[in-house]
Amino acid sequence: MPDQPAQPETMFSRRTLIRLGAGSVLVAATPLPVFATPDDVKAAQQELFGSRMIREGRVTLKLPAIAENGYSVPLSVEVDSPMTADDHVRQIAIFSPRNPIANVARFQLGPRAGRAAVATRIRLGGTQAVQAVAEMNDGSLWSGSAQTVVTLAACVVL
Amino acid sequence: MKKRSPALAIAAFLAACTPSPTDHAGLPSADVRSGYAFLTAETQAMQDDSFANPGYLWVDRGSDLFESAADGAPSCASCHSEGLAGVAATYPAIDEDSGDLLNLEGRINQCLMRHQNLPALAYESDDLLALTAFVANQSAGMPASVSIDGVAASHYRNGQDYFFTRRGQFNLSCHQCHDQNWGKRLRGDTISQGHGNGFPAYRLEWQTLGSLQRRIRDCDAGVRAEPKAFGDPAYIDLELYLSSRASGLEIESPAIRR
Amino acid sequence: MAGIRLSVPQTARKGEVIELKALIQHPMESGYRRGSRGEQIPRNIITRFECLYDGEIVFSADFHPAIAADPFLTFYTRAVRSGTLAFRWTDQHGEMWSDTATLTVT
């Protein structure tokens, strides 16, 4: 008998329905698992960058306004930088204030990259503003963020 | 019982033999559109980029399997040296030898068993998905064109009946969502027409590639009906109805779907 | 057995910034999902990606469970000389997968 694939499960033990324009109701189906909070993002950033100040700017983070499915959300990040030996992006870190873990990914670049731009696909546990922090070769930190609404599938097979 | 005239009896007999498009009024052909049209721009871009579309990982593997000869068995390529362009667009189809209706997975398994002396592959196994994705991809861009004449006619009617029958705790038929309410919102989703021309598809909800059978089972579970087993004849008949309903739509395998 | 797909231009002008795409088949099991019997499915993810240009790392990434299944990356590098681009993925257990592509720089 062929193996039955595991029922499509959510990333967490329950999902939250979200309010949409049509007037559907915000419902927490059952007790939510532990999500990260903006404080966890701060802690993760401190761990990576110490207590250096993070300034907003130079970083463009793009997410779709509405994510078709939280399991796969296309993300692109670009930093305004000439990427020369004297002036380049050392690394870009992505943070989620609402996933179970605040750290999403970290990309190490350098002058050989030529262009400080990376695109990937991430998982998001709910509607949130994802943040990207770029560290320059002079140690300065710049950030950008993007908001996305994570929707629930129409026919949820729980 | 009312007595019928011979002419009426003959007419009734003929009507029963050929699928009548007015038995169940479905989608007007001018309205038919692919699930692709119901995706966001970002997801469409993901489907269109063969390096971003993970479905091609299975197409690649299928291509390797197609060329390789396992355990002394002849490779698929040894018979199908010209490839299989256009074949998937005609499936499900009646197998001439057995008279059974076979979908693509069934046909591949039949080839494995009958011509290569290999065991059949399980649904959703990596190898069967890879071979199905590869063969289906060979018809990418070609319009779905299945035959519903002759022996296939009764299968078509079964599939059509399934499509129009309410089921599950929600007591919904495929027809109600996908013929009557496509384009409308269901939670955050826009209801598609439920064609299947993109399958096997990389479904974001599954985080992997899956067959149309798996999708149909999910639909049944979605209306809280007990899903049938993979490869159930009712589902193969339904696949035939779906392919006919999607006539003219291009095969998009491996598509990206939600 | 992980399938890999790479998009690397065959040729480039010296100094040109080229776009690279790398896709690998991997479930990236987050460790937060539950199976059909309610059992927790253990975490199983790729944690590190590296792109090497003639043996020198020119781009790398650290992945956490939030990276989607079948991880996909688009990134850039400067075409400095003809050579081999190697793409290397390592998972949390230390298992490694890699593939290479040749770049001709004129």
CATH number, domain with residue A86:
2.60.40.2470
The reply to whether C104 falls in a domain is: no
Taking residues B110-121, report their average pLDDT. Answer: 93
Statement: residue B145 has pLDDT above 80: yes
Residues B101 and B92: beta-carbon distance below 8 Å: yes
Confidence of residue B173 (pLDDT cuts 50, 70, 90): very high
List the chains bordering chain B where 3 or more Cβ pairs fall under 8 Å: A, C
Same domain, B167 and B64: no
- pTM across the whole model: 0.88
> Could you say which of B104, B137, B170 is where a domain stops?
B137
Residue of C nearest to A130 (CA): C66
Same domain, B150 and B241: yes
Q: Do C58 and A113 touch (CB under 8 A)?
A: yes
In order, the DSSP letters of chain B are: -----HHHHHHHHHHHHS--TTSS----GGG---GGGGS-HHHHHHHH-TTT-THHHHHHHHHHHHH---TTPPPHHHH-TT--TTTGGG-SEE-TTT--EE-HHHHHHHHHHHHS--PPPPTT-HHHHHHHHHHHHTTBTSBP----STTHHHHHHHHHHHHHS-BTTTTB-HHHHHTTSTTSEETTEEP-----TT-SEEETTTTEEE-HHHHHHHHHHHTT-PPPPTT-HHHHHHHHHHHHHTTTPBB--S-EE-
**Domain count of the fold of chain C:** 1
The alpha carbon of B53 is separated from its chain's Cα centroid by a whole number of angstroms, namely: 20
The reply to whether B2 falls in a domain is: no
> How far does B204 lie from chain C, in Å, by closest CA?
9
Same domain, B117 and B148: no
Same domain, B95 and B173: no
Residues of B with catalytic function: 219
Statement: residue B3 has pLDDT above 60: no
Same domain, B85 and B192: no
> How far does B144 lie from chain C, in Å, by closest CA?
28
Same domain, B37 and B163: yes
Average pLDDT, chain B: 91
pLDDT, tens digit, 9 for 90 and up, residues A60-70:
999 999 999 99
Taking residues B25-29, report their average pLDDT. Answer: 85
Instruction: Output the pLDDT for position A85.
Output: 96
Taking residues A86-113, report their average pLDDT. Answer: 97
The reply to whether B4 falls in a domain is: no
The reply to whether A137 falls in a domain is: yes
Taking residues A115-123, report their average pLDDT. Answer: 98
| Boundaries of domain holding B233 | 33-51+144-257
The reply to whether C38 falls in a domain is: yes
Instruction: Output the pLDDT for position A31.
Output: 37
Instruction: Output the pLDDT for position A151.
Output: 81
Same domain, B149 and B252: yes
Confidence of residue A21 (pLDDT cuts 50, 70, 90): very low
pLDDT, tens digit, 9 for 90 and up, residues B201-252:
999 999 999 999 999 999 999 999 999 999 999 999 999 999 999 999 999 9
Q: Do B57 and C23 touch (CB under 8 A)?
A: yes
> Could you say which of B77, B111, B137 is where a domain stops?
B137
ipTM for the complex shown: 0.96
Instruction: Output the pLDDT for position B237.
Output: 98
The reply to whether B25 falls in a domain is: no
> Could you say which of B137, B171, B206 is where a domain stops?
B137
Instruction: Output the pLDDT for position B16.
Output: 52
Chain B residues whose C-beta is within 8 A of a chain C C-beta are 51-52, 54, 56-58, 60-61, 207-208
Same domain, B153 and B119: no
Least CB–CB distance from C78: residue in A76, A96, A112: A112
Confidence of residue A3 (pLDDT cuts 50, 70, 90): very low
Residues B89 and B251: beta-carbon distance below 8 Å: yes
pLDDT, tens digit, 9 for 90 and up, residues C83-99:
999 999 999 999 999 99
Same domain, B129 and B194: no
* Residue B205, burial from CB neighbour count under 10 angstroms (0-12, 13-18, 19+): buried
The reply to whether A1 falls in a domain is: no
List the chains bordering chain A where 3 or more Cβ pairs fall under 8 Å: B, C
The reply to whether A6 falls in a domain is: no
**By the CB < 8 Å criterion, does A90 face chain C?**
no
Q: A-C interface: how many C-beta pairs under 8 angstroms?
A: 106
The reply to whether A41 falls in a domain is: yes
Instruction: Output the pLDDT for position B226.
Output: 96
Residue of A nearest to C65 (CA): A104
Same domain, B204 and B88: no
Q: A-B interface: how many C-beta pairs under 8 angstroms?
A: 73
Confidence of residue B25 (pLDDT cuts 50, 70, 90): confident
Least CB–CB distance from A68: residue in B187, B219, B258: B258
| Boundaries of domain holding A145 | 34-150
**Domain count of the fold of chain B:** 2
Statement: residue B108 has pLDDT above 70: yes
The reply to whether B43 falls in a domain is: yes
The reply to whether A146 falls in a domain is: yes
**CATH code: domain of residue C40:** 2.60.40.10
Statement: residue A17 has pLDDT above 90: no
Q: Which residues of A107-127 are buried (b: 16+ CB within 10 A; e: fewer)?
A: bbbbbbbbbbbbbbbbbbbbb
Instruction: Output the pLDDT for position B55.
Output: 98
Q: Do A107 and C32 touch (CB under 8 A)?
A: no
pLDDT, tens digit, 9 for 90 and up, residues C5-56:
999 999 999 999 999 999 999 999 999 999 889 999 999 999 999 999 999 9
Least CB–CB distance from A6: residue in C35, C65, C69: C35
The reply to whether B9 falls in a domain is: no
Per CB-CB distance under 8 Å, the chain A contacts of C77 are: 112-114
**CATH code: domain of residue B80:** 1.10.760.10
Same domain, B60 and B104: yes
Q: Do B187 and A74 touch (CB under 8 A)?
A: no
The reply to whether B27 falls in a domain is: no
Least CB–CB distance from B52: residue in C3, C21, C28: C21
| Boundaries of domain holding C25 | 4-99
Residues A146 and A61: beta-carbon distance below 8 Å: yes
pLDDT, tens digit, 9 for 90 and up, residues C69-78:
999 999 999 9
**Domain count of the fold of chain A:** 1
